[in-house]
Every structure is written in C-alpha cells, then in structure tokens.
C-alpha cells in the first residue's frame, strides 16, 4: 500500500493478492494553516459547520464512501480486493478510512507529510453516513474523535431499545430493524438478517461499539424531534457505553447532544446549539487546547432510563 498527501488531496494505492485499487479524497485546509493540522474526515463531505471547523484550525477531508462499497449491493473497491465476504458496507467504509490513515502515517514517517496530523483525526457523517462514521471510529483506534450525526437505526441506536418501538414527538416510531434491512441491507453484514427479530440473543449491542471508542473522544449529535431516529435508543447506547469511560476514569471523553427542544426538526441540519459541544470535543481531542468536557445533554422527550437496561454496577478499571 502506497499513497501521497498534498494540501488538496490524499491518494491511496492498494495491492493485494494480485489485485489493485486506487482512490483519493479531497482535502480543504483552514486558511493560514502551517505545519501538520488536525482533520475531520466527512463521509459524503460531512454535515458539520465547516466555518466552525476552519475557525478551530481543523482541515476537512471529503470521503466518497460509496465508491468503496455500495450500501445496497456491498460491491465496490473493497469487494474488488476481497470478493464477497458478507461484511457490511460500513465495515468496508471503515477499511477505506484505515487505508487513508495508513498513508498519512507512512508519509509522515517518511518525511513527506507535514500537512495533516495523523494523530488528530476525527470522523463524521449524518444519517446513513452517521452510521458509517460510528463504525469507522470504533474499528480504528487511530481515530481520535468520532462524531456520528443523527445516525439512527443501524448506527448508534441500541438494537434492543429500537425493538421496543419507541415513538418520538412527531408521532413516528424509531425505524425498525426490518425497515432498515429493507432500505439498505449493506448497512448490515449478511449474517445480521438472521437476528432482526431476535436481537436479544446477540451478546453485544451498539453500546459495545461506543465502548470500543474508550478512552478516545466520542460525541453523538442527535435530533430528538424526529421519532424515526430513535433518539432515546441513541442516548441509551451512548450513556451505557459511557459507563466504560467512567470505569476508566475518563467519563468526560464521551458526550451526547439531543438537538433542539422544539421545531424545526430538519434532518441533518447542524444546529447552533450544537456548536459548543462540537468546539469542546475538537479542543479536547483534536487541537488539544483544552481538557475534555463532554456532557450528556439529551432532550427530556428522549432521555433513556438506564435502570431498565443495566443490571450491573460500573467497576473501576485500570
């Protein structure tokens, strides 16, 4: 695997088993950037306020995840290399980001990357791309900050709570697992089809993926006004995974923001109320200008009662 880093793009070349693929991602540096700067990888470009990111000295990297794997057919550059593995498109998207990180690290070590700091990388996306961002950060420990935005079912939402059919303020229930499976099977691995109606037998849940981030930075941006997003299930998974952060003594490294308390509730809109949680996360985990100050801030209409789900006491881990 080889690649190049410039102020406008990162190219990736992979050879494996006699097969090769190439892809690239675009880079936008903050004005006046000097030396290696932090960056946030945005699936589909991302949904965050780019002016805020630039003000904080953070570059943006636009990632065309569907070129790596289609969310409907799971085909793409990943399957060109590995064939039909049954892995979800989300896992393929994570593989692609890991190759970008490989290039950033290798080129830095070779003295050819003084542009992007590979130790200060975040990942984000909204809706289906928020699902991908969640998975990407969980599976590569080099991601310093995960920011899934309104990811819903197939993303941060706890599977067990989604199956209780919670209803939001707009009168709509959380998207069911069967509906998500029908909309885009690539969000899941093929084996998941056997468990859509019986998630309680799976020994893990999305809280376990939140825990995979620990002790790294993790910020969930949600929208409790949209019932289909199952915000109560997202808050529950974040808070339950946050118990692992607490056990490690780094509970301020995880945060959740439930969005606005009232309408409008436009999907994938970054709200001004979420600017400060985002700034706090960036300054703690990317620019490292401040101590972590993550906060659990669900809206009252979508606040999970963990006592209904957790039957254990949080230990102290070393």
Which among 88, 127, 224, 231 is annotated as catalytic?
Answer: 127
Whole-number Å distance between alpha carbons of 66 and 75: 9
List residues bridging with 16 in a β-sheet. Answer: 19
The owner of tokens 């039909």 is 84
Whole-number Å distance between alpha carbons of 45 and 33: 20
List residues bridging with 25 in a β-sheet. Answer: 10
Has 178 been annotated as catalytic?
no
Which among 62, 98, 208, 267 is annotated as catalytic?
Answer: 267
The number of C-alpha atoms within 13 Å of 121 and in the hemisphere containing its C-beta is 26
Backbone angles phi, psi at 96, to 5 degrees: -60, -40
Rounded alpha-carbon distances, angstroms, from residue 193 to 84, 188, 271, 316: 16, 8, 35, 36
Cβ atoms of residues 161 and 304 within 8 Å? yes
The number of C-alpha atoms within 13 Å of 93 and in the hemisphere containing its C-beta is 33
Has 267 been annotated as catalytic?
yes
**143: which 2 tokens?**
């991601």
The number of C-alpha atoms within 13 Å of 32 and in the hemisphere containing its C-beta is 4
Nearest Cα to 58, choosing from 36, 40, 35? 40
Whole-number Å distance between alpha carbons of 62 and 137: 16
The verdict on whether omega for the bond into residue 264 sits within 30 degrees of 0, i.e. cis, is yes
Enumerate the active-site residues: 127, 267
């Amino acid at each position: 695997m080889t690649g190049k880093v410039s102020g406008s793009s990162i190219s990736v070349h992979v050879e494996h088993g006699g097969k090769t693929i190439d892809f690239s991602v675009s880079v936008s540096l903050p004005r006046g950037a000097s030396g290696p700067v932090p960056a946030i990888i945005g699936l589909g470009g991302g949904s965050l306020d780019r002016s805020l990111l630039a003000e904080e000295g953070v570059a943006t990297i636009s990632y065309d995840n569907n070129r790596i794997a289609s969310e409907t057919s799971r085909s793409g550059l990943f399957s060109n290399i590995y064939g039909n593995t049954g892995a979800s498109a989300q896992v393929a998207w994570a593989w692609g980001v890991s190759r970008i990180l490989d290039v950033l690290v290798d080129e830095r070590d070779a003295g050819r990357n003084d542009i992007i700091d590979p130790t200060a990388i975040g990942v984000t996306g909204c809706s289906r791309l928020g699902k991908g961002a969640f998975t990407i950060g969980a599976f590569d420990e080099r991601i310093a900050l995960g920011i899934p935005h309104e990811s819903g079912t197939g993303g941060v939402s706890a599977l067990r709570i989604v199956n209780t059919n919670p209803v939001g303020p707009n009168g709509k229930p959380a998207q069911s697992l069967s509906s998500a499976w029908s909309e885009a099977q690539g969000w899941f691995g093929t084996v998941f089809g056997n468990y859509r109606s019986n998630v309680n037998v799976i020994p893990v849940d999305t809280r376990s993926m939140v825990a995979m981030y620990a002790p790294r930075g993790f910020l969930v941006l949600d929208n409790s006004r949209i019932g289909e997003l199952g915000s109560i299930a997202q808050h529950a998974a974040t808070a339950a995974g946050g118990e692992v952060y607490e056990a490690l003594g780094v509970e301020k490294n995880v945060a959740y923001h439930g969005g606005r308390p009232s309408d409008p509730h436009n999907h994938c809109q970054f709200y001004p109320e979420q600017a400060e949680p985002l700034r706090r996360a960036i300054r703690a985990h990317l620019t490292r200008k401040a101590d972590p100050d993550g906060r659990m801030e669900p809206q009252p209409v979508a606040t999970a009662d963990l006592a209904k789900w957790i039957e254990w006491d949080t230990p102290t881990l070393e």
